[in-house]
Amino acid sequence: MSARILVVDDQEPNVRLLEAKLKAEYFEVITATSGQQAIDAARSGQPDVILLDVMMPEMDGFEACRRLKADAATRHIPVVMVTALDQREDRVQGLECGADDFLTKPVDDVTLFARVRSLLRLKVVLDELRVRELNAPADFLMPEADAEQGHWVLVVAGDARAGEHLRSKLPATVQSKVVTDPALASRVASSGIDMMLIDLTTSQFDGLRLCARVRSEAATRHVPIVAVVSPDEIERSVRALDLGVNDIIHRPVDSGELSARVATQLRRKGYADRLRTRLDESLEMAITDPLTGLHNRRYFASRMQQMVEGSASGKAPAAVLIADLDHFKRINDTYGHAGGDMILTQFADRLRGGLRAMDIAARYGGEEFVIAMPETDLEQAMVAAERLRLAVAKDAFRLPDGEVAKTVTVSIGVAEAMLGETAEGALRRADEALYRAKAAGRNRIKPARRESQAA
């Protein structure tokens, strides 16, 4: 996986050594020798990962990391602190500044590259979501009050005693549950949790296999995993990261360090979840009419084409209805646009009430609506159209001021798709039938003429 890495260290030999190692793995490398240079290079170069030294003059790595995470242009970039500092307080301070990991010099190359690859995979996913959601706020990893409040963490250990010990190290703000059976853990994770803490040091089950299973299932693919490993188990740590584990913490587990790592994972998950939600909402808006909640014309056209193609091949009949509210201009003139909009939304509700799950309804434009009915012949479609007409004529429509509109009716044209016919052809014949229904006095349905079929 190729990517751009920013290496920051005030010692030139350290920079060149790390640069050479990264280039040997086919990474593109940019460098900086001070905290301010790192900030400037991150803004201009937009690296994929920053390897940041802590002990630097003028501005140390902690302050540089805080400024990077406070800047909307750079806070989404993963930061790994690489330093000779190895005290618990240093690791916690680095993580609380927003760093994604804290590696102590001399750094094992295999571990470093595994961590970089892991962060790159995560960043690729987040970048795709950010690109798709152009208006997404850049609130990545910003400090939040009670960031862990209300989140569920699943602790998976070899026995209940070890699990409870790990559980006691978690922040008091999270809710947690201990599971000792990996099969049960997988099922619990699928039911909806915010993070997993998995003990890879147990001999009771294969923790790596559980990690792989969690990452392979759609329901748990995005659940953050923090793995507990022994400091000397470098190969297991690397394997875990390659399998998709988000973070590693060494035994003996320090509660302060675990709290900082949990907070980082939960903030990142919250950010990704918000992006996915906005993306889903954007996709929904792209195919939905904002007033009625029905599908829009663009979506209907694509689905109608698929339905007609199936009908044209002789697999099953298909029908299309075009419905138009009668004298709608008069309704708008009488009750105002607010009243007209309210009638349109109520009509959409009545339309939805008479549809099957397989039917597709859309607002085609103004007061005109279309319904595609797969596996439906002309006679069945006429029955459905009459049911809709009666639903409109039977009950009065409510208005914003509490009054009712008593004279709302609908005219409907119905066509069955014919062999060899296009979606446009079927819609055209249904529209011609609608015109005849209006010409005949409105508040009625008319079937399309078969002789209108294109040759």
Tens of pLDDT along 314-330?
Answer: 678 899 999 999 999 99
Strand order in the sheet with 410-416: 360-365, 368-374, 318-325, 410-416, 445-447
Active site residue 375: no
The residue behind tokens 């590693």 is 248
From residue 452, alpha-carbon distances to 263, 316, 366, 369, 379 in Å are 67, 21, 26, 22, 18
Say which of 367, 416, 432, 451 is annotated catalytic.
Answer: 367
Amino acid 144: pLDDT:
46
Contact 68, 39 (CB under 8 A): yes
Of 427, 310, 440, the closest CA to residue 368 belongs to 427
Side-chain-side CA neighbours of 335 within 13 Å: the count stands at 25
Sign of the torsion angle spanned by Cα atoms 257, 265, 138, 122: positive
Amino acid 451: pLDDT:
54
Amino acid 50: pLDDT:
95
- Mean pLDDT is lowest, of 25-34, 264-273, 288-297, 391-400, for 264-273
Amino acid 309: pLDDT:
76
Domains in the chain, ordered, with CATH? 1-138 (3.40.50.2300), 144-276 (3.40.50.2300), 297-452 (3.30.70.270)
pLDDT band at residue 1, thresholds of 50, 70 and 90?
low
Does residue 236 surpass a pLDDT of 80?
A: yes
Rg (CA), the chain: 31
Of 426, 425, 428, 430, the closest CA to residue 446 belongs to 430
Amino acid 150: pLDDT:
77
Residue 35 phi/psi, 5° resolution?
A: -60, -45
Distance separating the N- and C-terminal Cα atoms of the chain: 56
pLDDT band at residue 280, thresholds of 50, 70 and 90?
low
Strands (E), 60-141: 79-83, 101-104
Element (H, E) at 363: strand 360-365
Residue 370 three-state SS: strand
Amino acid 269: pLDDT:
87
Does residue 134 surpass a pLDDT of 60?
A: no
Return the amino acid letter for 411.
Answer: S
Tens of pLDDT along 329-372?
Answer: 999 998 899 999 999 999 999 999 888 989 999 999 899 999 99
| Mean pLDDT, the chain, integer | 87
- Mean pLDDT is lowest, of 122-136, 192-206, 248-262, for 122-136
pLDDT band at residue 100, thresholds of 50, 70 and 90?
confident
In this prediction, residues 160-180 reach a mean pLDDT of 94
pLDDT band at residue 38, thresholds of 50, 70 and 90?
very high
What torsion do the CA atoms of 205, 206, 212, 216 make, to the nearest 10 degrees?
-40
Instruction: Give start and end residues of each alpha helix (H) in 222-296.
Output: 234-243, 255-287
Is the pTM higher than 0.75? The answer reads no
pLDDT band at residue 142, thresholds of 50, 70 and 90?
very low
Higher pLDDT, 308 or 367: 367
Q: Residue 411 and residue 87: Cα distance in Å, rounded?
A: 78
Work out the burial of residue 177: count CB atoms within 10 Å of its CB; fewer than 13 is exposed, 13-18 middle, 19 or more buried: middle
Amino acid 141: pLDDT:
43
Residue 238 phi/psi, 5° resolution?
A: -65, -45
Contact 415, 426 (CB under 8 A): yes
